[in-house]
A and B are shown apart, each in its own frame.
Chain A
Amino acid sequence: MPSNMLHVAIVDYGINNIRSVRNAVEYCGFDPVISQDRAAIEDASHVILPGVGAFGDAMAKLRARGLDDVLERVVREKGKPFLAVCLGMQLLARASEEHADDGEPHRGLGWLDADIRRIRPNDPELKIPHMGWNTVSKMREHPALAAIRPGNLAFYFVHSFSMHCNDERDVVGCAQYGQSITAIVARDHIVATQFHPEKSQDSGIELLGNFLRWNP
């Protein structure tokens, strides 16, 4: 690794289990830094927003640390390459109905014209969460998917809510689970996956490596 190489910032906002993202970034040959520090995120070559858990809780944690503003500045204004994973992808939506039964939907970052809704498969035998490996069909090409053979577009999903995009152009890939599941979205220098590339063996590592070598 060249000594002048920039690090990859993995945004730490107090959620559990981001070690696997760091492990995968290291495995790809890059230098990950888990941080909630504005400077560390600003100085990174690439930024990753991981995420597991509940939508409202995650947004509250991001805001409490001022990271919504940091991401707004670093990603949206400065145009740094950005990957959001699982719940991280969902946070890019305007709002989620997760745990919002008794009031207004939780507001997200609103970077994408999209909403998060509970998965309601049309087949009663399909279980929730959508947990396991599923194949992804490409709606369009994207550098993050470069050189991954179509037969290897299978990734590991764990989620009970999914993204619904109002702008079809944002959708790069979809999976089928008794309904269409938005699996990959992208706009400009932003890409996001509902599945976990860091848990998707070779296919996931290839996608992550593609992202880390991407300089839009």
Chain B
Amino acid sequence: MFKVRVIPCLDVKDGRVVKGVNFVDLRDAGDPVEAAIAYDAAGADELCFLDITASHENRGVMLDAVRRTAQACFMPLTVGGGVRRIEDIRALLASGADKVSINTAAVDNRTFVRQAAEKFGGQCVVVAIDAKKVSAEGAPGRWEIFTHGGRRPTGIDAIDFAREVVALGAGEILLTSMDRDGTRQGFDIPLTRAVADAVTVPVIASGGVGNLDHLVAGIRDGHATAVLAASIFHFGEFSVRAAKEYMARAGLPMRLDA
């Protein structure tokens, strides 16, 4: 049976995990490779690194972290953050990433999505969409793309944009609600469902997870194929395994140890 994926996401800055990962048995909670190994052992279905390194000079550090992670963890790895050129994608894939997620560059230059898909195959091109609700309360939902961490509006409709990048060859959408991100109030379900129902490729729901019911809702009500979360896992509040067992009890098809 086809399984729902649970994807922990690590924010990495200058080669170090931001906010730390609060696991008891880690020697170095700031090392993305150690965190990746811990998530691997906990049964994560996939892993996501988001590189928030500001300076371009330090990007080599990220490639090294990707390389070391790929030597130790045998699960799919998506890396995003600052992916702007074909060369960035080539370097990440060559280091051992399986997919790259493209955010601002996809908004600025749609052709980049097509070039990436043609060159490397759509299966490794994830477009990360950061969306914010712009419709009035009670009005039919409308969401707009925001860039620069949710600060800069673009006027682009999120659902139209999702359809467009899929037509250009994107193999997956990583959808983050900027309204919910960091709030722990749960995914923006109407947004998730609107995008998931509009495109033919898998949608990963992201932004706002505060408890395990939120993960269930993202799949069941939001129609997402996978769920991504950061802080609920990092702070040791819930283990990935506990999350997957909870989702299985809620009736979702999960990959659990036999």
Q: Does A122 contact B (CB under 8 A)?
A: no
Q: How many A-B residue pairs have CB under 8 A?
A: 109
* CB under 8 Å from chain B, chain A span 47-62: 52-54
Majority-rule SS of B interface residues: loop
Q: How large is the interface on B (under 10, 10 to 19, 20 to 34, 35 or more residues)?
A: 35 or more
The answer, among B3, B172, B257, for a CB contact under 8 Å with A134, is: B3
Q: How large is the interface on A (under 10, 10 to 19, 20 to 34, 35 or more residues)?
A: 35 or more
Contact B74 A54 (CB under 8 A): no
* CB under 8 Å from chain A, chain B span 99-126: 120-124
Residues in chain A near residue B93, CB distance under 8 A? 16-17
13 new A-B contacts at CB < 8 Å, known A19-B96, A20-B96: A16-B124, A17-B97, A23-B96, A131-B171, A131-B172, A131-B201, A132-B225, A133-B3, A134-B1, A135-B1, A159-B123, A199-B98, A200-B74
Q: What's the Cα separation between A98 and B210 when bound, in Å?
A: 42
What are 12 A-B pairs with beta-carbon distances under 8 A? A16-B124, A52-B120, A126-B2, A129-B122, A129-B201, A131-B202, A132-B2, A135-B3, A149-B258, A159-B123, A201-B40, A201-B74
The answer, among A27, A156, A176, for a CB contact under 8 Å with B1, is: A176
Contact B123 A176 (CB under 8 A): no
Contact B5 A133 (CB under 8 A): yes
Contact A199 B75 (CB under 8 A): yes
Q: Does B211 contact A (CB under 8 A)?
A: no
Q: Does A152 contact B (CB under 8 A)?
A: yes
Contact B121 A54 (CB under 8 A): yes
B41, chain A: closest CB distance, angstroms: 10
The contact string, 1 if C-beta is below 8 Å from chain A, for chain B 119-137, is 0111110000000000000
The answer, among B1, B98, B257, for a CB contact under 8 Å with A20, is: B98
Residues in chain B near residue A131, CB distance under 8 A? 123, 171-172, 201-202, 225
The contact string, 1 if C-beta is below 8 Å from chain A, for chain B 238-258, is 000000000000000001011
The contact string, 1 if C-beta is below 8 Å from chain A, for chain B 37-78, is 000100001000000000000000000000000110011100
Chain B residue with the shortest CB-CB distance to A16: B93
Q: What's the Cα separation between A19 and B74 when bound, in Å?
A: 11
Contact B70 A20 (CB under 8 A): yes
Residues in chain B near residue A26, CB distance under 8 A? 71
* CB under 8 Å from chain A, chain B span 1-17: 1-5
Contact B2 A177 (CB under 8 A): yes
The contact string, 1 if C-beta is below 8 Å from chain B, for chain A 87-117, is 0000000000000000000000000000000
Which residues in A have some Cβ–Cβ distance to B below 8 Å? Answer: 16-17, 19-20, 23-24, 26-27, 52-54, 125-135, 149-152, 154, 156, 158-160, 175-177, 196, 198-201, 204-205
Q: What's the Cα separation between A209 and B185 when bound, in Å?
A: 44
The contact string, 1 if C-beta is below 8 Å from chain A, for chain B 182-224, is 0000000000000000011111000000000000000000010
Contact B124 A125 (CB under 8 A): no
Contact A16 B202 (CB under 8 A): no
Residues in chain A near residue B3, CB distance under 8 A? 132-135, 154
Contact A205 B258 (CB under 8 A): no
Contact A19 B124 (CB under 8 A): no
Decide yes or no: A204 and B74 within 8 Å by CB, A133-B45, A149-B258, A151-B258 being known contacts: yes
The answer, among A20, A125, A135, for a CB contact under 8 Å with B223, is: A125
Q: Does B147 contact A (CB under 8 A)?
A: no
Decide yes or no: A176 and B70 within 8 Å by CB, A125-B223, A129-B202 being known contacts: no
Residues in chain B near residue A159, CB distance under 8 A? 123
Contact B123 A16 (CB under 8 A): no
Residues in chain A near residue B225, CB distance under 8 A? 127, 131-132
A202, chain B: closest CB distance, angstroms: 8
A157, chain B: closest CB distance, angstroms: 9
